[in-house]
Amino acid sequence: MNLQVVGDGIEIDEHIKELLDLKVGKELDKFLKDFDEDLKHANIKIEKLARSGFKVNFDMRLPGGGGHIYREEEGDDLINVLIALRKEVSTQIKDYKDKLQEYRA
């Protein structure tokens, strides 16, 4: 999965890129194995909040109706935010794939 990452108030270093790949990219790729590689593209924005914590936005477009996958998560620990984000996005992808199956049937 191709993840385009942007930081706001935080430098996106190799450690963060590895975390994203491990906690988000590889896990979501399992749900998208039926899709071409050029369709597995998502934009992620990581924002360091003023007081403490992080806000992460995930935005992905897949073909067909209902193919817009978007989620925003906030929390104090970046790893926990990424795990929560992955869980919610994977649910949206499953719902999207179920709708595709219903449409094809």
What's the CATH code of the domain at 56? 3.30.160.100
The per-residue pLDDT for 104 is 67
Tokens representing 47 are 């924002």
Tokens representing 24 are 């988000």
Mean pLDDT of 8-22: 93
The per-residue pLDDT for 64 is 75
Q: Check: CB of residue 4 under 8 Å from CB of residue 42.
A: yes
Tokens representing 67 are 């193919």
Residue-wise pLDDT for 21-80, tens only, equals 998 999 899 889 888 888 899 999 999 998 889 999 999 998 877 789 999 999 999 999
Give me the number of domains the chain comprises. Answer: 1
Written as one letter, the residue type at 52 is: S
pTM above 0.85, yes or no: yes
Q: What b/e sequence results for 15-52 when a residue is b if at least 16 CB atoms lie within 10 Å of its CB, and e otherwise?
A: ebeeebeebbbebbeebbeeeeeeebebebebbeeeee
Give the residue numbers spanning the domain of 27. Answer: 2-104
